[in-house]
Amino acid sequence: MLEARNLHVGYGDAPAIWDVSLDVDAGEIVSVIGPNGAGKTTLINAMAGLLRCRKGSLSFDGADMTRVRAHDYCGHGIALVPEGRRLFAKMSVEENLELGCYLPGARSHRAQSIERVFTLFPILRDKRQQPAGELSGGQQQMVAIGRALMARPRIVLFDEPSLGLAPTIVDDMFDIIGRVRAEGAAVLLVEQNVLKALEVADRAYVLEQGRIVTSGLPDELLKQPHIREAYLGV
């Protein structure tokens, strides 16, 4: 479905990730874990078209995405839930959600999609006319996820969805990620909460210093001494 091969991405003359290869198949949750500064956000922004690849290839359902304009990625079925949510604070919850169905194909299903979001996040139905900036952090994350779902994506890219959230809300966020997959969308998740990221994943990659250092099934990764020491402190 989504396939990266030998990706090199950087900022100016500074390389950030290099020789990265990964795959996300239809119906999968794939997690990318790694420490701060490993390049996780750079990677997912490249997969979303927000950063250009210097070398390597990126394809979606066999179509070359490396020359597709960033604003056209959504039309191909790729949606991003960015780090920090990036909502329009003075706009209402409903207005923020509607930004996700800007394209004609998604806009024609606007009523159905917004009902799907309100079913997934009932609290947002009650707050639909409230400015997004007045919501709690967890509720704002719900709006960010809902906005992505309004585009009716085939794959959703999550960038650090648990960042800044209370532990009880974090559990809810990962349950929601599972529900997004259950409703038919594949998921690529980059996340510092290693246990939660591996708990929901079908497969996972470990990114360190801009490179993929290992990958495999979550249970296999948790048995590796390096992973247990570096990420779990045991």
Instruction: Map out the domains of the chain as residue ranges.
Output: 2-77+153-232, 85-151
pLDDT value at residue 233: 65
Would you call 128 helix, strand, or coil by DSSP?
A: coil
Are 32 and 216 contacting, i.e. CB atoms less than 8 angstroms apart? no
Question: Does the structure show a pLDDT above 70 at 149?
Answer: yes
Closest CA relative to residue 80, chosen from 51, 108, 57, 53:
51
Examine the pLDDT at 234 and tell me if it is beyond 70.
Answer: no
CA distance 160 to 188: 11
pLDDT at 198 over 80: yes
**DSSP code at position 101:** G
- 108 φ, ψ to 5°? -70, -15
Supply the pLDDT for residue 25.
96
User: Does residue 105 register a pLDDT over 80?
Assistant: no
Q: What is the pTM of this model?
A: 0.92
Nearest to 85 by CA among 6, 15, 3, 161: 161
Pick among 3.30.200.20, 1.10.357.10, 3.90.1300.10, 3.40.50.300: CATH of 2-77+153-232: 3.40.50.300
Taking only the tens place, the pLDDT of each residue in 65-86 is: 988 988 889 889 999 999 888 9
Q: Give the whole-angstrom CA distance, residue 223 versus residue 136.
A: 37
CA distance 156 to 173: 14
Contact between 80 and 148 under an 8 Å Cβ cutoff? The reply is yes
Q: What is the pLDDT of residue 231?
A: 77
Question: What number is the average pLDDT over the span 34-39?
Answer: 89
For residue 38, pLDDT beyond 80 = yes
Rounded to an integer, the average pLDDT of 147-154 is: 94
Alpha helices in the chain (DSSP H): 40-47, 93-98, 104-107, 110-120, 122-126, 137-149, 167-182, 194-200, 218-222, 225-232
Average model confidence (pLDDT) for the chain? Answer: 92
Q: Which long-range contacts (CB under 8 A, 24 or more apart) does 222-231 make?
A: 222/198, 227/194, 230/35, 231/33, 231/35, 231/194
pLDDT band at 143 (very low <50, low <70, confident <90, very high): very high
Q: Percent of the chain having pLDDT more than 70?
A: 99
For residue 78, give both structure tokens.
């790729």
Average pLDDT, integer, range 194-203 = 94
Give pLDDT, residue 79.
95
Residue 56 is predicted with a pLDDT of 95
Chain-centroid distance of CA 21 in Å reads 17
Token pair recorded at residue 188: 């690529």
